Structure 1
């Protein structure tokens, strides 16, 4: 049986580009795995003796082996520090040779951060791990969701900004070991982060992606996304849109069975109930909302409903008293109306001035300079992204159209339709059956 010292020597000798495949075959062998398990106490010292950048593949196997023996129930600070030092320093080309091992190591880092109540410790290392594992920023990996979760728990919303802002198009299990559950968790945690950043439009986009993902059975992640989606829709626009037709039937049924209190709140908002009435309803369903951890979002939905009532008044009146606003928007009185209007002015949601002398509000038109340099830059960026996305869609369409399995299934379904005399088995319905 070999020794840990011999294994370290082998890692040092075979970490050149030409020797990496042979090193990986050796590290994957049962014999070397037995050596690492038997020498668990010396694995961190072995990692410390290696260069994280030059010997990334070997360090990865040693650290992942240590993760399997570390006490995940109590947490291992020494392991956590060693892994958090390795992740930002590792060489992407080497760790991408063993994506499953790399994901396993990152999952262990997250687990130890949670047990040790130190989620912030893992934020920067996992952000570096996302970049190391993914061939490009548009690839999705299992580490995305773990990174987002640590950002949420540590309230480091800004740290997740660059990763959230990247457009993700590619899901490649062979390169990143991503699974369907990872996709759902990416959408869920990413949506929560965007809610925290008050970027409701992108939050809705992420949550809707989870809700329209193909599925045959209900699951807890989709149910949680559905509830968040309904509340964020109320906050953002005051109404919950219908799910697209391509959403799975099980998700549509979930909206009725799992989200009844949320659907009722949406119905009350659509009936222009006063904030007081909505608050009374929320109090009655408080146990349901708190169990889901959504009471804060319910409060924001009710607050958003009051804001929209005020915005409607700006479309009708040029001048209005605080008392009239309080009455027509269903607020508690002039003082509450003044606070609400001031917040909306600060947020740029209305343009108005409040007269302290007579308590009157004078609304004005938005003065937006669309010819500004910033607007031109934003428009050019949007056009460039649209062109890029169109190119990706065209490439994907060509790949699907020439896929042998797709063509075979389409042809067989067309033949069965002809044999049965049913002309509906062609065209769009054929696509829907795939």
Structure 2
């Protein structure tokens, strides 16, 4: 594995990241005891895939849920675990597979037994935005993780904390103000695109809420109520939502009136089913992450009591 890490560093230095994808993929399959086992080389492959913008080879690994961690020389550096899920989340975000990206960033911030790292902080920033984009709120996590985030991560993510508050207050004006105020920071984090998607998603939430109150409404009134710049912008947004199956409605082009169809019960039932199904999936992934976390702790413990490790530590202390 050390050779693979050095090859990765060399190819990045030489600006030839794509050349490492095949040999490292072969190396992983030779080291793995099963396809669901995570190795430190997984992180290298993801990094090279990001830099080369060649994602297909790495998806063969990313699409497999991890259930075990490889023991490499009786140890495993947790940074490879964190970077694998961080890089993987970034790849899924680029591919607009946001549900999968959400699970990866969630895994990255769920490892609480480690020192604060920049990877954990950056993962949390993206986790916040994608959680709002997908679910309109932050998804619940275990008390241990929440305590860790509140104490160690959130203080470094002030603009993102503000976005959560503005979104929960249903304030597009506040969201836009936050976007302008912290534009440089969001851009530096490579998150400005996600921030804009989050703002747009709140517009969709507002339109969905209108369908619960009104049977008909003009495009002009809709634009005013959801803070869109014009009736034309409202029409474009509504047509897109109709096409995506997010609302049931029709637009009368003669008078600019929108009629919301009475399929809400069927739609809500379908959405409820999907929500329950997806919540069960999230809970399953959280439990898998907790299990991996415990395996990491057990691995650390076994390394700590290993006679070779103790002897090495003693020798280092004696120097």
The TM-score with structure 1 as length reference comes to: 0.57
- CA deviations on 1:223-268 (whole Å, 9 max, x unpaired) are 1111111111111122224542122744322343101111111101
The CA RMSD over aligned residues, in Å, is: 3.4
Tell me which structure has the larger Cα radius of gyration.
Answer: 1
2:189 to 275, 284, 292: 292
Question: In the alignment, what sits opposite 1:347?
Answer: 244
Question: In the alignment, what sits opposite 1:301?
Answer: 198
Question: In the alignment, what sits opposite 1:225?
Answer: 123
**Long gaps (5+) in structure 2:** 270-276, 303-319
Q: Please say if residues 243 and 252 of structure 1, whose CA atoms lie closer than 8 Å, have aligned partners that are also in contact.
A: no
Q: Please say if residues 162 and 178 of structure 2, whose CA atoms lie closer than 8 Å, have aligned partners that are also in contact.
A: no
Q: Secondary structure at the match of 1:344?
A: helix
1: CA distance between counterparts of 2:48 and 2:247? 36
The CA deviation at 1:175 is: 7.6
The TM-score with structure 2 as length reference comes to: 0.75
2: CA distance between counterparts of 1:272 and 1:351? 22
- CA deviations on 1:340-364 (whole Å, 9 max, x unpaired) are 2233334333333333333233334
Question: In the alignment, what sits opposite 2:212?
Answer: 315
Q: Please say if residues 142 and 177 of structure 1, whose CA atoms lie closer than 8 Å, have aligned partners that are also in contact.
A: no
Q: Secondary structure at the match of 1:353?
A: strand
1: CA distance between counterparts of 2:32 and 2:186? 37
Question: In the alignment, what sits opposite 1:337?
Answer: 234
1: CA distance between counterparts of 2:54 and 2:211? 37
2: CA distance between counterparts of 1:329 and 1:139? 47
- CA deviations on 1:153-172 (whole Å, 9 max, x unpaired) are 33334443332221101013
Q: Cα distance 1:179–1:333, how it changes in 2: closer, same or farther (>3 A)?
A: same
Higher RCO structure, 1 or 2 (CA under 8 Å, sep 6+):
2
Q: Secondary structure at the match of 2:69?
A: coil
* Range moving further from structure 2, 294-303 or 153-162: 153-162
* Range moving further from structure 2, 258-267 or 351-360: 351-360
1: CA distance between counterparts of 2:91 and 2:146? 25
- CA deviations on 1:55-111 (whole Å, 9 max, x unpaired) are xxxxxxxxxxxxxxxxxxxxxxxxxxxxxxxxxxxxxxxxxxxxxxxx223223333
1: CA distance between counterparts of 2:55 and 2:258? 36
2:112 to 214, 217, 232: 214
